[in-house]
Chain A
Amino acid sequence: MENNNVKTIRDFIEREKKSYASIESTVIPALHEAEGVYGWISPEAIEDISNYTGVSKAKIKGTATFYAMYKNKPMGRHLIQLCTNVVCMVMGSESLLSLLNERYELEPGGMTSDGRFSLVIMECIGACGTAPAMLVDADYYDNLNEKNIFEILDKYQ
């Protein structure tokens, strides 16, 4: 019997494929969907997508690892995506990085030992006018400073 995860991904691809002339186009949306289902782009996720699109697992893995935002390893319950590109850097994102490190022993690309946060460095999230900025999961936060960043993060347990 197929499990729920497999079914969710199969149904998603079945639904999505109507929008495109080629089923291969569903790979990128299906990777987003599978990430929601499995929490990351796990070998199972790649296998499911391959089974229902006919695209080889190697090609899907190649696609998944090309894009910076897919979680290619298991991550914490909440993902902090802090922008450190030029404007955010000039406006102070480096000191925020050090603070995250001090408070949570969190390095870019790493995860806290309790699995609460993972941290990823972003390349411009389009909030330069209100820099520095970050995404926590799918929520936008800008005008960050040394104080409000922790008030925000306290909401994510």
Chain B
Amino acid sequence: MKKVLLKNIENPDSALLTEYMRVGGYKNLKSAVKEMTPRDIIDDVKESGLRGRGGAGFPTGMKWQFASMDPKFPKYLVCNADEGEPGTFKDRPILEKNPHLLIEGMVIAAYALQCSRGYIYLRGEYPQAKVILESAIDEAYKKGFLGDDILKRHFKFNLSVYQGAGAYICGEETALIESLEGRRGQPRIKPPFPVNAGLWGRPTIVNNVETFANIPLIIEIGPKSYAAIGNTACPGPKLFSVSGCVKRPGVYELPMGTTLKEIVYEHCGGLVDGRTLKGIIPGGLSTPILTPDKIDCAMDFVNLPKAGSQLGSGAVMVFDDSVCLVKVYERAMKFFEHESCGKCTPCREGTGWMRNILGRIECGRATAEDVDTLIDVANNISGATFCPLGDGAAGVVLAFVNNYRDEIDYHIKYKKCC
């Protein structure tokens, strides 16, 4: 498949506007603004079947339609570039090597949604991306792709980067909005949804970096051709960031619905020689781990749930038989405990309890009853929190206990790793 999201990134100057335009950049913005009405674009995005690439997989066209139906103005457009899900590094190549693709996607979205102001909420951990994005935004202003009279069509859109400061929870859209308003990033209760009452109470469309990066392609090839890429229920190109025990980790652009097996064994060269596969987390740390027998599963929003996990951000983390999964989940829980915003008691306290119990299992001080307590704590977090952070933490522990009970029991009985 021809690369779209990662197009031209082998070119060391790919982040420059001239290089982006040399490979057809901003051509789709021009045709969108000159030949299409905002309504046409929203209809095309709906028809394309594009689903949000941040993790939840909500249909983008539907989100856009909800926002466009709200009569309140101004409306705000926000790019979620708070790529914090452990294992995920797929937005980084777009931000650092293809920033104009993101900007072009955002300007088309702004035109369709009649937003005059946009923000890219960038995680604090990407200082280089900030420099690159700001320079790309400057270039786009100078060329008339941003500003008060874009392409001389009396259409106005101003864009700037807002840098976070290290908080995983700000990837959740309402926490992100709180943070953009200058406060602690604690999620808001929904409804109201941001499309009706988001930033400063105004309709706000929050989309992931990769989602915006898909928009120019939909304009270019049309919704029907787009819908023919990958899985028909959730089509399009998808970035998979693969890490852990494979020969060639990295970011791969493949059609949605590519199997885990193809990703791990063909694109990433398989495991290190002599090792066997122990488990795969398919969509970032907050998605449930899969056992090796699920390797034929297609990576998309439809098939992974059937196999007991989720696509999440498409961050594939591969573990071979040299890795102690109890230790992995102890560390994972330390992460969720650290990143819990503290608003909901089940998440704030429960993640710490789970970390504690997993730590006891790992260092050989646990009893069989501890596993029951672990399951009990996880069940009491599920469904009892404002946002998905707590649910995610509980869900991955339950999947781990269900799928790897033998390994846990071995730790308890022999007080060491298998």
Partner-B contacts on A (CB < 8 A): 19, 21-22, 24-29, 31-32, 53, 55, 59, 62-63, 66-70, 81, 84-87, 89-91, 122-131, 135, 138, 140
Contact = CB atoms under 8 A, between A and B. Distances in A.
Which one of B91, B125, B245 has the highest number of Cβ atoms from chain A below 10 Å of its Cβ? B125
A124 B331 contact: no
Size class of the contact patch on chain B: 35 or more
A90 B126 CA distance: 22
A152 to B, nearest CB: 16
Interface in B337-376: 338-339, 341
B194 to A, nearest CB: 15
B149 to A, nearest CB: 19
A32 B182 CA distance: 12
A22 B159 CA distance: 16
Contact of A63 (B84, B182, B327): B182
A19 B160 contact: yes
B278 to A, nearest CB: 11
B182 A87 contact: no
Nearest to A59: B183
B243 A87 contact: yes
B220 to A, nearest CB: 28
A128 to B, nearest CB: 4
Contacts of B36: none
Contacts of A24: 181-183
Contacts of A131: 243, 249
A140 B328 CA distance: 24
Contacts, number: 136
B275 to A, nearest CB: 12
B104 interface: no
Interface stretch (B60-68, B140-148, B163-171): B163-171
A51 to B, nearest CB: 15
B182 A123 contact: no
A128 B243 contact: yes
Interface in B71-128: 83-89, 91-92, 123-128
Contacts of B244: 87, 90-91, 128
Contacts of B243: 87, 128-129, 131
A67 B82 CA distance: 13
B184 A123 contact: no
Contacts of B92: 126
B408 interface: no
Contact of B182 (A25, A84, A138): A25
A108 B328 CA distance: 20
Contacts of A70: 165-166
Nearest to B92: A126
A28 B86 contact: no
Contacts of A67: 124, 164-167, 185
B231 interface: no
B250 interface: yes
A59 B331 CA distance: 31
A123 B338 contact: yes
Contacts of B167: 66-68
A18 to B, nearest CB: 10
A87 B341 CA distance: 23
Contacts of A89: 327-328, 331
A9 to B, nearest CB: 15
Contacts of A91: 244
B245 A123 contact: no
B155 interface: no
A129 B165 contact: no
B86 A25 contact: no
21 contacts: A24-B182, A25-B181, A28-B163, A29-B162, A67-B164, A69-B124, A69-B165, A84-B331, A85-B86, A85-B331, A86-B87, A86-B332, A86-B335, A123-B84, A124-B87, A124-B88, A124-B125, A126-B123, A127-B89, A131-B243, A138-B128
Given A124-B168, A140-B128, 20 more contacts: A25-B182, A27-B183, A32-B165, A53-B182, A62-B184, A67-B164, A68-B166, A81-B125, A84-B331, A86-B285, A90-B245, A123-B168, A124-B86, A124-B88, A124-B125, A124-B285, A126-B88, A129-B251, A131-B243, A135-B127
